[in-house]
């Protein structure tokens, strides 16, 4: 997306310049990776803003970013509210330079009791990995549909929540594993998402295993995605690739990259 030729002066500070340079470098890496494997479509960039303030999200919107990712509900819900307030203030000051709110992607492990809170701001949940969570999401989606019908503010959030099934790509999965379904559980979870009102089956998500090379792991993810699409052709999203392995993810067909550090810099120490 192109920048406006005129831009609000308060969004043009040193931090914005730093983010612009980092974002340009990441976009150039993505372009090179796409060209290298001769892909026709460029994957979408989700900028992971965890640990960084709402002001940085506003700078990113100003720089043309449309999608942001967060991995903890407490932080994300406060930040989504803060971004809404910053956008409203910005719009009041610059009615000619509108900023659209981002799509918020929830990408972290999710406790069932946080499902309702997450659906207040998130347009997609990348970390659906068990049926108990799915049940909570389904209940929360049904609840928010009712309150929208009753006239409660929907704040422009999508009514149907995109759900991605997170897959554990390790070759040896311990029995007490968390943070990813086993490949053999995908089909059943996918059917349940499909059947749930208010939820839309969007695809698969994975994080490369720590102690295995990312390439073969992402190749397995691509196979699992192809298998899923034989039954659910609409489930085309493949969310894979972070700062360290985006090239491998692009090579293996990722449609959505989740990049934090290389756009925002090293994460600040927890406050």
Ligand X SMILES: *Cc1c(COP(=O)(O)O)cnc(C)c1O
48 belongs to the binding site for ligand X (CB under 6 A): yes
d(CA 160, CA 166): 18
Shortest gap between Cβ of 30 and ligand X (angstroms)?
13
CA distances from residue 174 to 132, 169, 240, 261 in whole angstroms, order as listed? 20, 12, 22, 29
**What secondary structure letter does DSSP report for 174?**
-
Q: Which CB sits closer to ligand X, 27 or 94? A: 27
221 belongs to the binding site for ligand X (CB under 6 A): no
80 and 62 in contact (C-beta within 8 Å)? no
d(CA 240, CA 206): 6
Binding mask 123-162 for ligand X (x = CB under 6 A): ----------------------------------------
User: Which of 80-88, 98-106, 155-163, 255-263 is the region at the interface with ligand X (rule: CB under 6 A)?
Assistant: 255-263
**43, 108, 198, 214: residue in contact with ligand X (rule CB under 6 A):** 108
Distance of CA 254 to the CA centre of its chain: 13
**22, 79, 256, 258: residue in contact with ligand X (rule CB under 6 A):** 258
Name which of residues 157 to 196 contact ligand X (CB under 6 A): none
105 belongs to the binding site for ligand X (CB under 6 A): no
- Report DSSP letters for 125-158, one per residue: EEEE-SHHHHHHHHHHHHHHHHHHHTT---TT--
Residue ranges binding ligand X (CB under 6 A): 48, 50, 71, 107-108, 207, 242-244, 258-262
């Amino acid at each position: 997306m192109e920048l406006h030729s005129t831009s609000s002066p308060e969004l043009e500070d040193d931090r914005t310049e730093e983010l612009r340079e980092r974002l340009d470098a990441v976009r150039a890496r993505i372009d090179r990776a796409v060209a290298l494997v001769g892909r026709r479509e460029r994957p979408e960039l989700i900028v992971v803003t965890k640990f960084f303030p709402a002001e940085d999200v506003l700078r990113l919107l100003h720089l043309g970013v449309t999608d942001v990712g967060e991995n903890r509900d407490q932080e994300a819900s406060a930040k989504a509210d803060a971004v809404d307030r910053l956008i409203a203030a910005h719009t009041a000051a610059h009615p000619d330079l509108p900023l659209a709110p981002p799509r918020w992607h929830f990408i972290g492990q999710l406790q069932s009791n946080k499902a309702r809170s997450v659906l207040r701001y998130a347009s997609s949940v990348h970390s659906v990995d068990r049926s108990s969570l799915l049940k909570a999401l389904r209940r929360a989606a049904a609840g928010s549909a009712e309150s929208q019908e009753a006239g409660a503010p929907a704040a422009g959030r999508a009514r149907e929540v995109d759900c991605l099934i997170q897959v554990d790509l390790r070759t040896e999965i311990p029995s007490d594993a968390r943070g990813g379904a086993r490949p053999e559980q995908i089909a059943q979870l996918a059917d349940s998402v499909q059947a749930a009102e208010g939820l839309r089956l969007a695809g698969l998500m994975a994080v490369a295993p720590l102690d295995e090379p990312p390439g073969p792991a992402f190749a397995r993810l691509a196979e699992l995605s192809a298998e899923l699409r034989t039954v659910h052709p609409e489930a085309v999203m493949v969310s894979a690739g972070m700062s360290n392995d985006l090239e491998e993810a692009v090579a293996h067909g990722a449609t959505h990259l989740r990049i934090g550090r290389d756009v925002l810099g090293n994460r600040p120490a927890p406050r």
